[in-house]
Amino acid sequence: MSNKSTLREHLRFSKEELPALIGVISVVVFLHVAGWGLFIHYNSNPAYSSLTDGSGALIYAGAGALAYSFGLRMHLMLTISQQLMTQLA
């Protein structure tokens, strides 16, 4: 039981850290909304892109979403490995 309480105390943010945390999360959310909004805007109209197949459907819109998901996965794996390395050191 003492391990859980110490882990909970370790993971708790202090009052001084909360504004910085909220700022970082706000910027990340803004960038995601802006990026996905622009992605959808420019890929929803074939006039903006010449990469269409015979029926007029955009062919690389799925590749952008796949690259985004791979980037998130890579960031998550790097973050986890960095945390593990600092705990082992």
Express each pLDDT in 2-26 by its tens digit.
566 677 777 788 888 888 889 988 9
What pLDDT is stored for residue 18 in this prediction?
86
What pLDDT is stored for residue 30 in this prediction?
93
Distance CA 34, CA 26 (A): 12
Residue carrying the six token digits 């959808």:
40
Given a cut of 70, is residue 54 above it in pLDDT?
no
Given a cut of 70, is residue 62 above it in pLDDT?
yes
Domains of the chain: which residue ranges? 1-44, 50-89
Distance CA 56, CA 69 (A): 25
65 DSSP 8-state letter: H
pTM to 2 decimals? Answer: 0.56
Polymer length in residues for the chain? 89
46 DSSP 8-state letter: G
